[in-house]
């Protein structure tokens, strides 16, 4: 492993730290964070390819190529079925109890319904992670496709929504000038 690869993986760990310490609604952490590299990175990319092969969007195949070429990938998920207990209705239900009762197991990329505050926490954590990558001049790309694959692999236990942030340290960002998909 070269110096840039080691640094990229270390930066991925720092991104995880930024995500973990990001502000959370009511101060309750419902995030699951995992960093993958090497063989696990290949398994993640293969799972993404499988989504396209089973009739899913071609962007999964395109993004899988990026994940395969990356040094590591930070996975972030949220247990969106947990609630903050505010009965705010942001989820579309009268209150938190009604949202929990409405939860059903269906074959979709994301589970639901989700507490809007928990999903917002995930968004803030993703933003904190990519901010750290930016401060370290590390190329990265937020990918819902990698999150869907990680959920399918069971790598984000009990999570209903997930994202992946692959990272790369090369002379030109591999996450732009991409072909395939939409």
pTM for the model stands at: 0.94
Structural domain containing residue 26 = 3-161
State both tokens at 2.
């070269």
Of the two residues 181 and 80, the one the predictor is more confident about is 80
Residue 72 lies in a domain: yes
Q: Which two tokens stand for residue 41?
A: 């990175």
Q: How many domains does the chain contain in total?
A: 1
Q: How confident is residue 31, by pLDDT bands cut at 50, 70 and 90?
A: very high
Q: What is the CATH number of the domain that holds 85?
A: 3.40.109
Q: Does residue 182 carry a pLDDT above 60?
A: no
Contact assessment for residue 138 and residue 95, using Cβ atoms and an 8 Å cutoff: no
Return the closest-CA partner of residue 99 out of 160, 31, 53, 40: 160
Confidence of residue 176 (pLDDT cuts 50, 70, 90): confident
29 lies in some domain: yes
Residue 57 lies in a domain: yes
Q: Write b or e for each residue in 78-97: b if 16 or more Cβ atoms lie within 10 A of its Cβ, otherwise e.
A: bbbbbbbeeeeeebebeebe
pLDDT above 90 covers a percentage of the chain that reads: 87
């Amino acid at each position: 492993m070269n110096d840039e690869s080691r640094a990229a993986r270390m930066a991925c760990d720092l991104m995880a730290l930024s995500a973990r310490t990001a502000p959370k609604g009511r101060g309750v952490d419902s995030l699951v964070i995992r960093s993958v590299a090497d063989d696990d990175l290949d398994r993640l990319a293969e799972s993404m390819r499988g989504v396209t092969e089973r009739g899913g969007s071609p962007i999964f195949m395109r993004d899988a190529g990026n994940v395969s070429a990356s040094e590591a990938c930070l996975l972030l998920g949220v247990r969106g079925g947990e609630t903050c207990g505010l009965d705010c209705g942001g989820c579309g239900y009268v209150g938190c109890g009604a949202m929990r009762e409405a939860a059903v197991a269906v074959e979709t990329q994301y589970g639901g319904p989700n507490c809007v505050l928990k999903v917002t926490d995930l968004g803030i954590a993703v933003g904190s992670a990519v901010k750290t990558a930016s401060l370290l001049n590390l190329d990265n790309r937020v990918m819902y496709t990698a999150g869907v694959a990680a959920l399918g692999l069971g790598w984000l236990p009990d999570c209903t929504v997930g994202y992946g942030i692959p990272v790369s340290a090369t002379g030109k960002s591999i996450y732009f000038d991409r072909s395939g998909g939409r």
